[in-house]
Structure 1
Amino acid sequence: MEKDNKKTENTSFLFGKRNYIIMLIGLAVIALGFILMAGGGSDDPNVFNPEIYSWRRIRLAPTLVIIGLGIEIYAILANPKK
């Protein structure tokens, strides 16, 4: 009788292992973009440091962040059953 009263629950995750791996890769790319964007300031506010306008901070870092967001969207939309 006890076995009849117990409900068997089949718990499944929303995403598969592949989705989580792709999400971690996307987060790593986003984090790398923000790390490359950091720095370039000056300790003295009266001194201008032109390094803040370097190619790495203006072009590369924001591109990496956008690519990382695209990877995250792909990870969410990817079929977990494959």
Structure 2
Amino acid sequence: MAKKVKEAKAVKENAGFALGRENYKLMAIGFAIIVLGFILLSGGGSDDPNVFSEDIFNFRRLTVAPILLLIGFTFEIYAIMKKPKDDK
């Protein structure tokens, strides 16, 4: 009988969130990296549609932003797959 009570308490404690607190913090950091990547990717357009703007081919949009996005998505996968620590 005591064993069933202990198991019920253990299930009740784990019934909250699917991941641990550290996982959610890491996911928030990854999300911020992805948002920063999309911000760096934006812009470069011309005000006049008849004038071509060379700003769309700069280093920031072609290199830095896609690398930052790749890092952010990889970080998100790591944050989801990381096993939460048991502090018992």
Q: Is the TM-score greater than 0.5?
A: yes
Partner of 1:22: 26
* 1:54 counterpart = 2:84: no
Q: How large is the Cα RMSD of the aligned pairs? A: 1.6
Displacement over 6 Å in runs of 4+? none
| SS of structure 1 residue aligned to 2:32 | helix
| Count of residues in Structure 1 that have an aligned counterpart in Structure 2 | 76
- 29, 37, 40: which is aligned to 2:44? 40
Separation (CA, whole Å) in 2 of partners of 1:51 and 1:33: 17
C-alpha deviations, 1:22-44, integer Å up to 9, x for none?
00000000000000011000011
**Residue segments in structure 1 that go unaligned for 5+ positions in a row:** 1-6
Write 1 or 2 for the structure with the bigger share of helix: 2
Amino-acid identity (%): 51
* 1:74 counterpart = 2:84: no
Letter in 2 for 1:38: S
